[in-house]
Chains A and B, each alone.
Chain A
């Protein structure tokens, strides 16, 4: 089955840039989506199709995808960005949706 690997944690100071990676075999050929999940809440879609943002999501959230790595970038990080972040793809070979292992972003 298809595996998506994320770093367990990323720490960043307020106002700086956080980059969260999502590794998978030839992930650049797939559409990657990213979710933010705060404690006790349901996930929220923050980036879809590699780099598009749903309405209401700040421009500070951006994404890229190439080769074996997709990246979610959060610019000008704020305290409210502290959360768990998950990448997700649809794997056509198994017809399964797959989530990454998740990354906890801590704002110092």
Chain B
């Protein structure tokens, strides 16, 4: 079945970086865009950016420009999201989610990865 499986929870200190993975299975990896969405505790959903697994091109939300990097490995059908210069406000659950080339709704989501930033 179609699924996105993310890496496990992380605890980081302020100023550090975190890299979260999202492994896709059950569909053609390069046929769908992949996004990252985060949710701080008790808060709403926030879109971070998109990567096209086919060519690797990316587009990031203005808020995260310069701090986020999204990459992919087509040999393992995995996308990665690295966030640098972490601060306490980055404590959140990070989700990967896919969209099709013709529909900009997120139809499949990963299970989420909790990232805690604490000294």
Q: Does A45 interact with chain B (Cβ within 8 Å)? A: yes
Contact at B107–A54, with CB atoms within 8 Å?
yes
A102 CB to nearest B CB, Å: 4
Of B24-32, B74-82, B108-116, the one with at least 4 CB within 8 A of chain A = B108-116
A45 cross-chain contacts in B, Cβ below 8 A = 105-107
Number of interface residues of A (CB under 8 A): 23
A86 cross-chain contacts in B, Cβ below 8 A = 44-45
A101 vs B102: C-alpha distance when bound (angstroms):
25
B109 CB to nearest A CB, Å: 4
Q: Does A28 interact with chain B (Cβ within 8 Å)? A: no
Q: Does A96 interact with chain B (Cβ within 8 Å)? A: yes
Name B44's contact: one of A42, A90, A94, A99 (CB within 8 Å): A99
A94 vs B104: C-alpha distance when bound (angstroms):
14
- A99-B45 in contact given A45-B105, A48-B103, A49-B105 (Cβ < 8 Å): yes
B61 cross-chain contacts in A, Cβ below 8 A = 96
B25 CB to nearest A CB, Å: 16
- A88-B59 in contact given A43-B45, A99-B47 (Cβ < 8 Å): no
A54 vs B2: C-alpha distance when bound (angstroms):
14
Name A99's contact: one of B46, B62, B109, B110 (CB within 8 Å): B46
Q: Which 8 pairs, one residue from A and one from B, show the smallest C-beta to C-beta distance?
A: A33-B105, A48-B105, A42-B109, A97-B47, A90-B104, A99-B45, A102-B44, A45-B107
7 contacts between A and B (CB under 8 A): A43-B45, A45-B106, A86-B45, A94-B62, A99-B45, A99-B46, A101-B44
